[in-house]
Amino acid sequence: MHYHKSKFLRFANAAFEFLLLILTFIFAGWLRSYTPMGSQFFMWDIWTFLPISALYALVIVGCNAVLGSYRTLHLRNSIKQLFLIALTSLMGLALMATAFYVFRVSQLSRLLLVYYYLLSVIMIYLKRLVFDRLADAYVRKHDIVPRALLIGGGQLAHRFFRDVIEGRGSTAMQYVGYLDAAPREGLPAYLGTVDSLYELLQTHKVDMIVLAQDVQDVATTQRIMMLADNFHLRVAAVPVYNDYVSSRTEISTLGGMRFVDLRLLNTCEIMGVNIVVTDMEKTVRLLEEKLEDWRGKYICVANVHTTVTAHDDPTYQAVQNGAVMALPDGGPLSKFSREQGYVDAARVTGPDLMKEMLKESADKHYRHYFYGSTQETLDILKATIEKNYPGAVIAGMYSPPFRPLTPEEDAAVIRRINETKPDFVWVGLGAPKQERWMAAHEDKVQAVMVGVGAAFDYEAGNIRRAPMWMQRHNLEWLYRLMQDPKRLFKRYLTTNIKYLWWTWKQ
């Protein structure tokens, strides 16, 4: 049950958790007072250190707010939730220990801290479990799940109806009815043929169309897609060869059935920037299919910093939205998209995309041009690519001077790039310089331009990538901050605060 638009409900959810942590501290103190181990402890000691417990609770709530825990009441993954709760509680405990050291507080029982930590993890988890059940009951009672129209009446449609619509305990969607050439036994609510879809959408409330046709006709599918776009509906398909569909391209899996998103370029607006809803597999496939159509165009790789910058600078926002795709490099961007209902949104980083396309070159024989960074880095990068990506053709490399090029120099660079006939020009100038450069050279450089920031340095080994667990939990920015605090501290402080404030206001 999502409720992004209600600030009050988000605040109430966070406030309830804050109060729960305060009560948990009191309960932990009561438990400690009856524990014979350690020094003597009395109930009135609890009130002395209650402000410290409030600090602990505030840290926990703040961390959970950043992680987006209060945007939904639904508990998606119990094990993951328990791990995150334990991790954030541990951060709060570390802050309390730091406060004790700074203010020389030594008389608070260590056993009390252990009780408080363990109980807070358990209580927060139980609270979210209860809220999840309440939200599920609310959805059932008020009938607010998406209304799905089924198209098809064969075996695939019957399986969908049996496993998903009638699936025990499923609140994923509400069944409106089905369209087919004729009524079918075993499927209720026959609403007519596909030819009557336009009239049906005018008279029935439908949120989602599910294609479950045993024979999937291209022309019919295109017509359905056009009507769905006109009515702003989401379209999913249950593929005929369902068992062979990659899980990375699915919308969701219910009753063992997968639903593939048919819209290749859904976008989610974040601070005025149209961020593409995609994943790595879909992006690679799009680049392969659209390579010739997109020659001369550019792709932006967006993160929190570039998105906030675009929000504050209309000219840069126009550059971002002028790209054929603004990919969600930053984890918070793909996370925000998922919270808006685009459940298949995933992070696509510049360095990872460049790696994937270099790997694809073994079969596709793509030609790559690298523009940016220093000559020393480019030399290391060339040796690394030749070693790790056999079959990838390096069409050329160029390290521009640290000054604006004259019009004559710029024309010579464009001519040099085009003469090498590249398929991709990887631009590593850093944001926002690289995006402005690509926009200025749109339709001049005859290749797909992709701004990849520090990807050259990552691939050359000049900068280490964050460990995978930090990348999965959207903490790569913290790893980079530890590597270069002088340059990145101010950037992350200002842009991250602006982004968090904007998301809270949403």
| CA–CA distances in Å: residue 33 to residues 27, 218, 442 | 10, 72, 71
Of 20-24, 165-169, 183-187, 254-258, the one with minimum mean pLDDT is: 254-258
pLDDT over 70, % of the chain: 78
Contacts of 239 (CB under 8 A, 6+ apart): 216, 245, 258, 260
In eight-state DSSP terms, residue 164 is I
Amino acid identity at 468: M
The Cα 123–Cα 276 span in angstroms is 38
pTM over 0.95: no
* CA distance linking residue 201 with residue 227, whole number of Å: 9
Give the pLDDT confidence of 375-408 residue by residue, as tens digits: 999 999 999 999 999 889 999 999 999 888 999 9
DSSP conformational letter for 72: B
Query: 270: pLDDT confidence band, cut at 50, 70 and 90?
Result: very high
Same domain, 299 and 440: yes
Q: Do residues 39 and 169 both lie within one domain?
A: no
* 332 and 198 fall within a common domain: no
Instruction: Outline where DSSP puts E strands in 245-355.
Output: 250-254, 257-261, 267-270, 273-276, 298-302, 325-328
Higher pLDDT, 264 or 500: 500
Work out the average pLDDT over 203-221.
80
Among 218, 281, 224, 273, CA closest to 247 = 281
Two tokens at 155? 């075996």
Are 447 and 303 found together in one domain? yes
The answer to whether residue 474 is domain-embedded is no
pLDDT in the model for residue 169? 43
Where residue 169 sits, what CATH number does that domain have? 3.40.50.720
The per-residue pLDDT for range 60-83, each reduced to its tens digit, is 888 777 766 776 666 656 777 788
- State the pLDDT confidence band at 41, using cuts at 50, 70 and 90: low
Specify if 433 maps to a domain: yes
Percent over 90 (pLDDT), the chain: 28
Do 317 and 243 reside in the same domain of the chain? Answer: no
Q: Where residue 98 falls among pLDDT bands split at 50, 70, 90?
A: confident
Last residue of a domain, one of 90, 120, 142: 142
Q: Do 289 and 399 share a domain, yes or no?
A: yes
pLDDT tops 80 at residue 95: no
Q: What is the mean pLDDT of residues 476-492?
A: 67
Q: Do both 37 and 76 map to the same domain? A: yes
Cα-Cα-Cα-Cα dihedral sign, residues 228, 229, 233, 236:
positive
Separation between Cα atoms, residue 232 and residue 430, nearest integer Å: 36
From residue 230, alpha-carbon distances to 157, 177, 213 in Å are 25, 20, 22
Same domain, 390 and 272: yes
Residues 322, 449, single domain; the answer is yes
Name residue 268's beta-bridge partners: 275
Contact 144, 172 (CB under 8 A): no
**Residue 29's pLDDT band (boundaries 50, 70, 90)?**
confident
Q: Is residue 484 part of a domain?
A: no
Higher pLDDT, 109 or 128: 128
Shared domain for 282 and 255, answered yes or no, is no
For residue 189, is it within any domain? yes
Q: Which of 261, 287, 310 is the last residue of a domain?
A: 261
Angle ∠(483,489,490) on CA atoms, nearest 5: 150
**Residue 443 falls in which region: left (phi positive, over 0), alpha (psi -120 to 50) or beta:** left
Residues 138 and 154 in one domain: no
The predicted pLDDT at position 244 comes to: 34
Q: How would residue 94 be classed by pLDDT, with cut points 50, 70 and 90?
A: confident
Burial of 240 (0-12, 13-18, 19+ CB in 10 A): middle
Q: First and final CA of the chain: distance in angstroms?
A: 16
Per-residue pLDDT, 128: 86
Q: Give residue 239's pLDDT.
A: 63
Closest CA relative to residue 159, chosen from 234, 266, 243? 243
Across the chain, mean pLDDT equals 80
Above 90 in pLDDT, residue 445? yes
- To which residue do tokens 């992004």 refer? 4
* Per-residue confidence (pLDDT) for residue 260, from 0 to 100: 55
CA-nearest of 146, 145, 150, 147 to 161 is: 150
Instruction: Using the predicted structure, report yes or no on whether residue 477 has a pLDDT greater than 90.
Output: no
Q: Which domain range does residue 351 map to?
A: 267-460
Q: For the chain, how many structural domains are there in total?
A: 3
pLDDT in tens, 122-146: 998 898 888 877 876 766 665 556 7
Of 445, 460, 475, at which residue does a domain stop?
460
Dist CA 426 CA 204 (whole Å): 48
Has residue 292 got a pLDDT over 70? Answer: yes
Contact between residue 13 and residue 23 where contact means Cβ atoms under 8 Å apart: no
Residue 333 has pLDDT above 60, yes or no: yes
Confidence of residue 7 (pLDDT cuts 50, 70, 90): low
3-state secondary structure of 90: helix
Residue 306: per-residue pLDDT: 92
pLDDT tens digits, one per residue of 145-202: 678 899 988 888 888 888 777 754 444 567 889 999 899 988 999 999 998 998 998 8
Two tokens, residue 223? 């017509």
The predicted pLDDT at position 243 comes to 38
CB 346 within 8 A of CB 280: yes
Pair of tokens at residue 209 = 């169309």
What local confidence, expressed as pLDDT, does residue 474 receive?
A: 65
Rounded distance between C-alpha atoms, residue 276 and residue 265, angstroms:
6
Map tokens 């959207």 to a residue. Answer: 474
**Is residue 259 scored above 60 in pLDDT?**
no
Q: How many residues does the chain have?
A: 506
Confidence at residue 453, expressed as pLDDT on a 0 to 100 scale: 85
Same domain (yes/no): 204, 279? no
The larger pLDDT score, comparing residue 473 to residue 190, is at 190
Phi/psi for 448 (5° steps) reads -85, 120
pLDDT at position 252: 45
> Residue 361 has which token pair?
């070159």
Written as one letter, the residue type at 463 is I
Mean pLDDT over residues 208-232, rounded? 76
- The pLDDT-based confidence of 423 (bands split at 50, 70, 90) is very high
Q: What does the block give as tokens for 270? A: 């974040």
Separation between Cα atoms, residue 446 and residue 418, nearest integer Å: 6
Mean of pLDDT values over 484-501: 73
Q: What is the pLDDT of residue 55?
A: 80
